[in-house]
Copies of this chain bind each other. A is one copy, B any other.
Amino acid sequence: MSTSRDLEMKQISIKDVARAAHVSHPTVSRALRFSPLVNAKTAERIRDIAGRMGYQPNAVARGLVTKKTGTIGVVVTSISDPFIADVVSGIEEVANDHAYSVFLANSNADPAREIKVVQSFQERRVDGILVAASRVGALYVPLLSRLRVPIVLINNQHPDEFVHSVVIDNVPASISAVQHLIGLGHRRIAYMGDQFGFHSDTERFAGYRQALTLADYPFLPELVVHGDGKPEGGGQAMDKLLALPAPPTAVFCYNDMTAIGALRRIRSRGLSVPGDISIVGFDDLFIASYVDPPLTTVRQPKQPMGRMAMEIMLKLLSDGQHETIIRMQGELVVRASTAPPKRN
């Protein structure tokens, strides 16, 4: 047993330092913030005294008067999502480097929780909000906009002109993925998407179609199936493709989780990847290089996207000006899940 009763100990305030240094507390305030208004010698002395007294400024009090808390709110669907964790890592890095602290909140894609989270951020007077949520409710952005603080969205599924965004440039990334398969000699290439209506799904599908068009390949509607962004959905969607009279020899998947589900299903049917069917994912999660065979995929620069989002936020917080949307480029990572087709 231990107790925290003894933890209640008066924190040293600016006034205590002032008393010790025989100056007024505003002078201490100025000295600690390196204001040129205070004599260099005394400023030095004050800082020295504050240091040896173990003084730690109270950011709460400062926030109350300056109306800048130096905090930003980050809302994510789930921090357990490895994609999001990397993005948050990038955000946190830049924030910390600029003396901002980040509040983290999971929405779990639950509208009630989303509202609660936004409200708590508002009560805490965050200076800005970042949203890294693979699935945000359509009503969420308008809700956020009412807060009157800068908002930056990362890979949001419901783009909105009133907020800033950093997104992966889906179309060229998808074209390069499909062109990789075409280059290998595949002709029957399927697209395995996410749920309908998702912006990034629409864009990745568009890239798929463009790559086909560029190669003068016909678009075959039966080769388009949809999962749910997770392994399960990928497995089920794969069943549909395998049930086709002429199954595809390659599948471009919406994301790695979908690809992994497809891959497992193929193997559990006694078929081989890439022997019978090649698979390409999207994201390049850590897990992508550890499945068997290691997954060919489009790498999203996850941490850089987080960093960029926070940098935009910093910009917004200082000048208040920034372009509305930043597109970042993906990179095809070729591993062992793709190979030339056996048949054609």
Contact = CB atoms under 8 A, between A and B. Distances in A.
Interface of A: 1-5, 7-9, 11, 56-61, 63-64, 69, 71, 74, 78-80, 82, 85-86, 88-89, 92-93, 96, 99, 101-106, 113, 116-117, 119-125, 148-150, 162, 164, 231, 260, 264, 286-287, 290-292, 303, 316-317, 320-324
A103 B101 contact: yes
A69 to B, nearest CB: 6
B321 A3 contact: yes
Contact of A123 (B59, B64, B88, B286): B59
Contact of A124 (B60, B89, B96, B104): B60
A306 to B, nearest CB: 10
Contacts of A324: 1-2
Contacts of A89: 78-80, 106
A291 B263 CA distance: 12
For this chain, the copies found in one complex come to: 2
Given A78-B89, A123-B56, A150 B4 contact: yes
Nearest to A149: B7
20 contacts: A1-B321, A2-B162, A7-B148, A56-B122, A57-B123, A58-B123, A59-B124, A59-B125, A60-B63, A79-B88, A96-B105, A99-B120, A101-B103, A101-B105, A101-B121, A102-B103, A102-B104, A103-B104, A264-B290, A290-B291
B287 A320 contact: no
B56 A60 contact: no
A66 to B, nearest CB: 10
Given A4-B320, A79-B92, A103-B103, A60 B292 contact: no
The 4 tightest CB contacts between A and B, nearest first, are: A292-B292, A4-B320, A104-B104, A59-B123
Given A287-B290, A291-B292, A96 B117 contact: yes
Most chain B CB within a 10 A radius of its CB, from A88, A89, A104, A291: A104
B80 A69 contact: no
Given A7-B148, A60-B69, A79-B79, 15 more contacts: A1-B321, A3-B320, A5-B320, A60-B63, A60-B125, A79-B85, A80-B86, A82-B85, A82-B286, A85-B85, A89-B106, A102-B103, A231-B290, A264-B290, A286-B287
A61 B124 CA distance: 9
Nearest to A291: B290
B82 A82 contact: yes
A316 to B, nearest CB: 5
Contacts of A64: 58, 60-61, 64
A324 B1 CA distance: 6
Nearest to A8: B148
Contacts of A79: 79, 85, 88-89, 92
